[in-house]
Structure formats: C-alpha cells, structure tokens
Amino acid sequence: MSDRTFTYVGTRPVRHDGMDKVTGRANYGADFSLPGMLHGVVVRSPHAHARIVSIDTHEAEAVPGVLAVVTARDIPETRAKLMLGEGALDLRDISENLLARTKVLYHGHTVAAVAATTLDAAREGAARVKVTYEVLEPVMTIEQALAANAPILHSDMITKGQHGAKAPSNVAARMELKRGDVGNGFTQADVVVEREFRTPTVHQGYIEPHACVARWGEDGRAFVWCSTQGPFAVRDQCAAVLGMDAAQVKVIPSEIGGGFGGKIVVYLEPLAVALSRKARRPVKMVMGREEVFRATGPTSGTRIRMKLGATRDGTFVAADASLYYEAGAYRGSPAGAGMMCLVAPYRIPNFVIEAFDVVVNKPKVAAYRAPGSPTASFAIESVIDELARELRLDPIDLRLKNAVVEGDAAPFGPAYGPIGLKALLEAARRHPHWKTPLAANQGRGVACGFWFNAGMNSSATVTLNMDGSAAVVTGNPDIGGTRAAQALMVSEELGIPVERIRPGVGDTDSSGYTDVTGGSRVCYATGMAVIGAAQDVREQLRARAAKIWNVDVASVTWEKGHAVPPKGAEKAEPLSVNDLAAKMTHTGGPIVGRASLYAPMAGPGFGAHICDLEVDPETGRSRVVRYTAFQDVGKAVHPSFVEGQIQGGAAQGIGWALNEEYVFDKNGVMENAGFLDYRMPVASDLPMIETVLIEVANPLHPYGVRGVGEVPIVPPLAAVANAMRDATGIRFTELPLSPPRVLAALNHEPTPVRTSDELSAVKADS
C-alpha cells in the first residue's frame, strides 16, 4: 500500500528485452519465416460502398505460382457473438470485415486473398481476381449518415436504444447517461457556454504494419505467428471465424511494433490460415503502410455538442451534450465510453449526455488508446476554458473547484476510491511552467483527462531455477516495458536481483489465458497475477524450509529473500532463495508458482497537461514549445517506462490536435494514405515533454498500481486548442489545427466569445 517501502519497485533497471531490440535481433511480425512458405496478398475494394455482384477467381488461380485463392465462400457464415474479455464482438461483423460477403463498405475492404510461391505471383493473382460491383453512394460523414434519405449501409440495422425505432438506419445505437434535473440545473447557471466540436478520423499510427505467418496441418491444427496485442484474442477470433476449436489454434506472438489498440481485432490471420488450409503450405502475409491506413485501425471521427453551465463563483451546475461517433463500416464506435468519460473529472449535479454510434463508409474503427475519451475531453475541456474566460477565473482553479475526489460518484455509477485529480491539479498550479511568462505569438492551455483503466483476465507463472534465478511468463505481449515491470515485481516478492529474472511472453499453449495488452491493464491486472505467482513460489519455499528444519510451516517466516526458522529451532539458520533452490529436487521437486485472476475493476486514471504553443501568424503553423504532463500513476513500478507512456501519449495527442486527419475524396477514397501526407509528429515538431508523476496508491493493487498508458492521450487535444485560443484569440472547434485552418482563421476576424443568449438564438434558428 502507499506506506509500503520497496526494494526493487520504483527502480530503473535496463529492460530485459532491450539488448535484442538495440542490436536488431528482436523478431517482429514480419521477421518470421518458414521453409516452403507462400506469400499472401489481399484483394481490396476500389469502392467505398458497393454491392458485390460476382467474384470470379478462375483467372487468378491460373497464374503460375498461385496455389490458393479464398473469398467469403471459404469461411462459414455466422451470426454468433464472441466474448473477448469484457467485450462481446459481433462475429459476423468481424467475419465480413475480413472477407466481404455481399457488400463492400469502405475503400480497401478485403474481398479475396491470394497465396503464391512468390510475392510477385501473388500480386499478379490478386490483380486477376475479377469482382463485379454495383457501386452505391458512399456515406462519409455523420451528417450524410443521419440524413433522411441516406443510403443505408446495413439493411438490418435498427437503432438500439431508440424508442420505437423500426426502420433501418445508419445509427447503430443511441445511449444516454443522466443525473439530476438538467433543466433546473441550467436555471441556476450564471454563465452557460455551448459549442459544437468536430474531430477527424485518425489512425493509431504504429510503425510496424500488421504481419503474420500461418501454417495449417493435416491434423486440422493451425499455428499462427503474428504481431498482436493479444495472442488469445487472435486464437479465439481465428477459431470462431473459421469454425475451429480454440484448442486447434496455437498463436505464437512476436515482438510487437506498436499497437495502441489497433492490433486486437484480426485482419490477416484468419485469411492466412484459410489460405494455408487450401494450399497445404505455410503462408506469410504482411501489410503495406497504405493498406494499414485504408483497412485497419482508425478511430472515430466525431461531432460533439457540449453545453456547460456554472454559477458566478465557478461551480458547475449542469451539462448537456450530444456525442456522435463514427463507427466506420460496422457498429461499435467508442461513443459509449466517450459518454462515460465526458464529465468524469468533475462534480456536476445535473447532466444529460446522449451518444450515437453511427456507421459510415470508412474502415471499421478499432480501439485507440483510451478509446472515445480524447474527443470527449476536447469538447468539455475547451468549453471549460471558455467558461474560465467568461468568469475571469484561472483555468486550473476552475477545474480544482469542480474536481472529483474520493467518494464522489462517477458519472457512470460507482463512487471513486482514492484518486489524485486534485493533487495533480495542485501540482500543476505550483509548477513553474504555469507561471513562466510567454513570448510573442505564444499561448498557454491546460486540460484534464480521464480513463477508466481495465482489469479483466490474467495469468502468470513463475518458475524457480535450481541456481536461484527465475523465469516469469505471462500472456501479454510487451509493448512498452511490461516485462521489466513484471521482473521487478518478482524481485520484490522473492528478493531475487532483477537481472536474475527472465521475464517472457508466452504463446497460447504455454501461458494461462490472459486478455489483451490494452486497457492500461498489464501492469495492474497481469501484475497482480505475477505478484500472486511469485508469492506462490514464496509459500512453497517456506514449506520446503519447514521440511528441512522439520518444523511447522506456519512457524517459518520470510524476511529479505530468506526463509527464517522459528526462534529456538535447533541447527536452523535462515535459508536464502539460492539455498532452497539448490535443494528443490530433494525437498519435493520443481517449484513453479502460478496465479490466475479476474480483476473486475481497476484504479481510475486522471491527468492534466499544460501546453505552450507558438503560432506563426504568417503561415498559420504552430509549434509546441513547452509541455508538461501531470498524472496520478498510482505507483510507478519502472518510472522510466511510466514517463515514456506519458510522453508518448502526449505526443500522439499533440499530433491529433495539430496535424493528423484522414482526407477523403468525394468517392470515399483516402487521399493521404502514407506517412508523408498523414503527418504524425516527428522529433523536430516537439520539445522535451516533462512528466510529473503523482502517486496516489490504488487500493485494489498490492503495490498501489493503476493503469498509466491511456490517460496521457486524453488531455492534449484541448490543451493544444486552449493554448491556440490563448495565442490567437480564436476558439477552434474543429481539429486538426493545421496551418491552413489556422491561417484561414487568422485572416478573418477572431471568432467572438458567444454568450448563452446568442447560443439560444442560434439554437432557436436551427
């Protein structure tokens, strides 16, 4: 707990997998090959919305070297649901996203896959798959999707949660979250600010494209080597899509070159298995960057109307919001999560928030770091900034005044446990960054962010070696340093130096079931499993010592890596882990600790970021000149990687705020499907990103750990936009704040601050 002192936890050892990564030896998804391997490529739709009239594969199959072609006919049709952790995935949607059956729903949608002896032959084969389409009008925006005469993507989609909905619609679901009496709440408000915000489709932007190798065996079993955030998720999706038992699929995860939520749903693996099954040869599939943009990932474009009222002293009294999130081609945007995160950092007695899950002809969205929260935060944190200006209050003070504390009810139900929001806001207010004067053309913004963090299923084993070193294995691919953290936990429990621990990532045969590396859950939930497995080893060591000393195990204590005999035990000296490990064969055999658990809850995470932005009035280009991120991290097990998560999340959020966006032409074709035109931050775009770690122990975890990975992408969108407002006097309500948009706004009159009266007039007009 918080008063616990640690020996290893909180130190910064070199990560165990680091050597392989700085020498180029580490194997990622595309680095694995098998003898006799074929190369698989996919045939993608050239249309954003079309009915498939026919698919003719004969000519493709005749290409020399082509050994297999698969289409939707090769995988079973299904309407089942697949449970993955907490979430139920619609298997039909996954299946049809993998191989379109009757319609293509975005440009780049897979319609067939081809395997051949060479990549060139596979590409030739893919070019000869003849698909006849009946082209339909694409639905590319929320407005188009909601229009009365909108083309309908799914003829059987009836809006869930919409009372009386009977006709097919592009709105998959309507959700609502309520507290108190909003109408009455707004009558208490002295100031009301309402704005409408828009954010574009953006991509996770992991540097490693999706890649896998699959090998089907004549015994009906399949092996899949791939880069994934969840080997069990890949196994279960492959098995479900292809109609196999989970036990027939073994997934061996490679090192993973980034995921951020985008490497959970499968895109290639079932295709590779199906191709291998047909060709009876191993099949390798690797996406190109353009395919990654066109057919994987992105997160929702959004439209959010946000209205917030406060009394003269800055007390929030009511909020009213409507959130529209694009799901892409199939239902399942993070609109619901956005709805629950929107007001999570604040005490607001009255609110009503409605959220809509809207399908459009874009790739099906995948999870992206705190899915749903950043765009919601952009809306409310921008509005809070405007409120602070109207009320002439310091924006940190205004947030502090309304910040949730332990015992306050979260908008989605339960009361918060110990949380560090106030502590980190106070740290931000005290920080020199907040007081340092700004130069010309510079502005400063602040914003908060929230993420639930996840628990779910985890398993771990700790194997003690006879020389006293140990191995720890979990089922979580390590994206950001979790192996180092897991080794530290084993060291902490057993007193074995961290260099003598070998942390590893198991495959689906060699580790117990573990949910994905995601939801900021690995250090928390899998960490608890690791601690449990290490404690299991410790209990076994105590039992072995008791056996050696011929005393009751209950009388054996454990101190600083030693089993300590009861006072008065004859000829009994404390035994170290090394001593006990050396004797294990004669005291009962191998010592393996294990733990499996389901963590129903996690420690909620809060952060606040301060951003200084400098705007070039001649070009509209802006640059982040100083950035400080404050976050309640619970307990930093390996502080360097906690800082790294925060710095990386901030950088992604800054990219989202300033430059990143999918640009579509009128036919629904993405025009910037490459890193040159989809502009992610590079080293020269950013300053050092200072991090301030606040440690408010999470009582659900033995060390106080709470998730840290997702919160840091939440505040930057508004922190940057608020800094832009400060620098230019212009409130931008649409992202990204790219030079053309900023320059256009600079060349016109600044947008005046709209009062609630003007807003009501606007509303009455519309």
Partner 1 sequence: MAKLHVHTTVNGEAAEFLCEPHETLLAALRNELGLTGTKEGCATGDCGACSILLDGRLVPSCLVLAAESQDRAVTTIEGLALGDALHPLQRKFLEHAALQCGICTPGFIVAAKALLDRQPEPTEQEARFWLAGNLCRCTGYDKIIRAVLDTAAEMRKTAV
Give the residues lining the site for partner 1 (CB under 8 A): 12, 14-15, 17-19, 21-28, 30-31, 120, 204-209, 255-260, 286, 288-289, 479-481, 638, 640-641, 643-645, 647-652, 674-676, 680-686, 688-689
Between 259 and 445, CB nearer to partner 1: 259
First to last CA, the chain: 55
**What residues pair up with 592 in beta bridges, in sequence order?**
463
CA distance 436 to 445: 13
Least distance in Å: CB of 519 to partner 1?
17
Between 541 and 650, CB nearer to partner 1: 650
Between 33 and 184, CB nearer to partner 1: 33
Least distance in Å: CB of 232 to partner 1?
20
CA distance 93 to 261: 18
Closest CA to 703 of 515, 535, 578: 535
Least distance in Å: CB of 718 to partner 1?
18
Between 55 and 629, CB nearer to partner 1: 629
Least distance in Å: CB of 209 to partner 1?
7
Helix 482-494 / helix 639-658 crossing angle, nearest 10 deg? 160
Between 309 and 481, CB nearer to partner 1: 481
Between 368 and 549, CB nearer to partner 1: 368
Nearest 5°: CA angle at 16, between 10 and 19?
A: 130
DSSP per-residue letters across 123-190: HHHHHT-EEEEEE-----SHHHHHSTTPPPS-TT-B-BT-TT--SB-SEEEEEEEEES-HHHHHHT-S
Least distance in Å: CB of 581 to partner 1?
28
User: What values do phi and psi take at 637, rounded to 5?
Assistant: -70, -50
Rounded (to 5) percent helix, strand, coil in the chain: 30, 25, 45
Between 118 and 184, CB nearer to partner 1: 118
H helical segments located in 617-668: 639-658
Least distance in Å: CB of 8 to partner 1?
16
Q: Is the distance from CB of 207 to CB of 257 less than 8 angstroms? A: yes
Least distance in Å: CB of 460 to partner 1?
21
Which amino acid appears at position 252 of this protein?
I
**How far is C-alpha 694 from the geometric centre of its chain's CA atoms?**
22
* Residue with token string 């802006």: 622
Between 46 and 639, CB nearer to partner 1: 639
Name the token pair of 719: 């922190």
Least distance in Å: CB of 623 to partner 1?
11
Between 258 and 349, CB nearer to partner 1: 258
Other CB atoms closer than 10 Å to residue 628's CB: what's the count? Answer: 23
Least distance in Å: CB of 616 to partner 1?
17
